[in-house]
Chains A and B, each alone.
Chain A
């Protein structure tokens, strides 16, 4: 008798092939971007802030692969060198946000009581603003620069992690293995460190890559408005900002390449995050 393939009611991607593709492509993009950032001096003939006296706004081709901008700086070189700053600030800021947010969330979630109340009211105030607007306000008040930008972006994101981890911990602390740890005589710190922390990080692992992409967009957005990194330092947002006036005149090469570079890097983080999410979902099912 012939085998009959039954039409499933809901077909589902249980093998996670799509997730794997997403993760590979995403991390592939990020590896290439990181390499380009590290090897930038080897891949370019002009320095990122070097001015070509022979011409501003030169069209792509010839001496300058992607032309020059209004200051006569090489666009290709600037796009590559900018990756260092954009990737670096974003990753550092998210790492800082994860550490601070997780610790606060862990304390609030497990200890409860007034610790929880105080921490969550602070988080409430932070979360009374759309994150970009908060970043805008903080950085306008704090000023630009590498360190300030890392702190700004981290501060804006940490409350979300605190809330996420707190919610997770509040579910986890009702689990039987936490009761089991208590009856086995584990101390409060032991329970938090050995049992709650490792298990509450699962959602953080998925969110963090997505958040890195968001951090890059925020950083570029701030610079675009003149609040983050300023010319002549190579940064994608400020490069796009510099090219705004060229666009109306139809000159694409000053603003399109840095935007594309930004898009591709953020896409790398998004793909990775989406893939991790999909894999986590598949595991849960």
Chain B
């Protein structure tokens, strides 16, 4: 009950932030240089053609009218019509979200689990060889440009060894996969399509690996740091001095106390991963949300830009909200 009230209050607090995002993006795309109409018309288009196109997309209306129309559409789930493709933005976006979420969710889950395990392992061996190795590895992960790492993995995994499929798609077209959610591995699992499962999984390995290496480092550092803090805390020393066995210490006194601070960082990392996917999708020709949004940005496709910015902001703040709830559940000191 208290949790529900907390979530409700937080959702209310989101409204001004999201409204700010909506207003700001709406204004910025229009104020800053660049014209979406010129890019869809050929080089031979006349001024009259351009005006006609503008009228078609409602861009000839006064700014406030355009904004009210846009806002009205938002309430009915209508994000407008893409200037580039002429198709409704809502439908296009739904198609693109699946592949990206598949990538990000799998990568962040693996990274979080790995970070918890490695971080605690490392902290318990603080300042010994194993710990130093883990930390140096994490620093490398922190410093590697993901897009370049993606290329190197392609070079090794595809060009040199030939273990993984070419970076040009998400599933073998011959596997006959019926798209449902857009996340190919999930679709394959739902339809029980054996060849599609293995193909989708094989296509996922390199991009997921790229993302995991990219986002593992900050998580690992944080888990290690807080585990170390717990290990050096008076509370842990007291439990150890009272002769509690290793297992009890690890389970009751180290793990939960260590994980208390992880949720908000995991949320932050989820955002980093969301950013990195734009690059990783580009490298692996992954037809995802990032690619779509990037095209929208480059061609000044107003409705696409507004929709993608709003969705990312919404997803991001939602993830933070979930993180706060998990935090409150883990840490009894947090009042919600």
Task: Choose from A10, A13, A225, A237 the contact partner of B278 (Cβ within 8 Å).
Answer: A225
The answer to whether the Cβ of B232 comes within 8 Å of any Cβ in the partner chain is yes
Is B316's beta carbon under 8 Å from chain A? yes
Residues of B within 8 A of A266 (CB): 142-145
B240's nearest neighbour on chain A, judged by CB, is A9
- Chain B interface residue bracket vs A: 35 or more
Which of A12, A131, A140, A248 has the most chain B CB atoms inside 10 A of its CB? A140
Interface residues of A in 56-94 (CB under 8 A from B): none
- A121 interfacial contact with B, CB 8 Å: yes
B residues in contact with A224, CB < 8 Å: 145, 147, 279, 282
Distance, CA A178 to CA B136, complexed state (A): 40
In whole angstroms, what is the CA distance A269 to B33 when docked? 35
Select A129's contact among B33, B147, B313, beta carbons within 8 Å.
Answer: B313
Q: Contacts of B313 on A, CB cut-off 8 Å?
A: 128-129
Cβ-defined contact, B139 with A270, below 8 A: yes
- A residues less than 8 Å from B40 (CB atoms): none
B154 x A130 contact (CB < 8 A): no
Is the C-beta of B12 less than 8 angstroms from some C-beta in chain A?
no
| Residues 120-147 of chain B, each 1 if its beta carbon lies under 8 Å from chain A, else 0 | 0000001110001001000110111111
Give chain B residues whose Cβ lies under 8 Å from the Cβ of A267: 139-140, 143
Task: With A132-B272, A225-B282 as known contacts, state yes or no: A10 contacts B316, CB within 8 Å.
Answer: no
10 further interface pairs, Cβ-Cβ under 8 Å (given A13-B126, A133-B275, A247-B159): A10-B231, A121-B17, A130-B312, A136-B278, A141-B28, A224-B279, A240-B148, A248-B154, A259-B145, A274-B139
- Report B-chain residues with C-beta under 8 Å of the C-beta of A252: 155
Closest to B314 in A: A128
Neighbour of A130 across the interface among B28, B149, B272, B279, CB < 8 A: B272
Contacts of B175 in A (CB 8 A): none
Q: Mark B218-240, 1 if CB is under 8 A from A, else 0.
A: 00000000000001100001001
Question: 1/0 per residue B24-41: CB within 8 Å of A?
Answer: 100011001110000000
Interface residues of A in 119-152 (CB under 8 A from B): 121, 124-125, 128-133, 136-137, 140-143
Identity of the chain B residue whose Cβ is nearest the Cβ of A142 in the assembled complex:
B32
Residues of A within 8 Å of B128, CB to CB, are 11
Query: Could you say which residues of chain B place their CB within 8 Å of the CB of A221?
Result: 145-147, 279
Complex CA–CA separation, A227 to B166 (angstroms): 26
Determine if B317 is an interface residue (Cβ-Cβ < 8 Å): yes
Q: How far is the CB of B150 from chain A (nearest CB, A)?
A: 9
6 closest cross-chain pairs (CB), A and B:
A132-B275, A130-B271, A259-B148, A266-B143, A13-B127, A140-B297
A124 and B128 alpha carbons, distance in the complex (Å): 41
Interface string of A189-224 (1 = CB under 8 A from B): 000000000000000000000000100010011001
Pick 19 A–B contacts, CB within 8 A, sort by A: A12-B127, A121-B20, A124-B20, A125-B21, A125-B24, A130-B274, A131-B275, A133-B271, A136-B275, A136-B294, A136-B297, A137-B305, A141-B297, A142-B32, A250-B160, A255-B148, A256-B151, A256-B152, A274-B135
With the chains together, A137 CA to B294 CA distance in Å?
A: 8
Q: Which residues of A contact B159 (CB under 8 A)?
A: 247-250
A246-277 residues with Cβ-Cβ distance < 8 A to B are: 247-250, 252, 255-256, 258-259, 262-263, 266-267, 269-271, 274
Chain B residues within CB distance 8 Å of chain A: 16-18, 20-21, 24, 28-29, 32-34, 126-128, 132, 135, 139-140, 142-149, 151-152, 154-155, 158-160, 166-167, 231-232, 237, 240, 271-272, 274-276, 278-279, 282-283, 294, 297-298, 305, 309, 312-313, 316-317
User: Is the CB–CB distance between A259 and B274 below 8 Å?
Assistant: no
A270-B142 contact, Cβ under 8 Å, with A133-B278, A224-B282, A247-B159: yes
Q: In the complex, what residue of chain B is closest to A285 when comparing beta carbons?
A: B232
Residues on B with beta carbons closer than 8 Å to the beta carbon of A225: 278-279, 282, 294
Residue of B237, B279, B283 with most chain A CB atoms under a 10 A cut-off: B279
Q: Are A10 and B126 in contact (CB under 8 A)?
A: yes
B122 to chain A, nearest CB (A): 13
Q: Which residues of B contact A227 (CB under 8 A)?
A: 298
Q: Is the interface of A mostly helix, strand, loop or mixed?
A: helix
Which chain B residues border A133 with CB–CB below 8 Å? 271, 274-275, 278, 312
User: Any chain B CB within 8 A of the CB of A244?
Assistant: yes
Provide the bound-state CA to CA distance between A221 and B278, in Å.
Answer: 10
Is A18 touching B145 in the complex (CB atoms < 8 A)? no
A271 vs B144: C-alpha distance when bound (angstroms): 13
Q: How far is the CA of A130 from the CA of B269 in the complex (A)?
A: 9
Contact A124 B126 (CB under 8 A): no
A11 and B309 in contact (CB under 8 A), knowing A248-B159, A255-B151, A262-B145?
Answer: no
Most chain A CB within a 10 A radius of its CB, from B132, B151, B283, B297: B151
Q: Closest residue of chain A to B153, judged by CB?
A: A247
- Complex: how many Å from CA A224 to CA B150? 12
Which chain A residue shows the least CB distance to B154? A247
Whole-angstrom CA separation of A140 from B290 in the bound complex: 14
Cβ of A243 < 8 Å from any Cβ of B? yes
From A128, A141, A240, A243, give the contact of B145 (CB < 8 A). Answer: A240
Contact A125 B232 (CB under 8 A): no
The reply to whether A124 and B155 contact each other, CB–CB distance below 8 Å, is no
Q: How far is A5 from B231 in the complex, measured between Cα atoms in Å? A: 21
The answer to whether A263 touches B33 (Cβ under 8 A) is no
Contact call A247/B127, Cβ cutoff below 8 A: no
| A125 x B20 contact (CB < 8 A) | yes
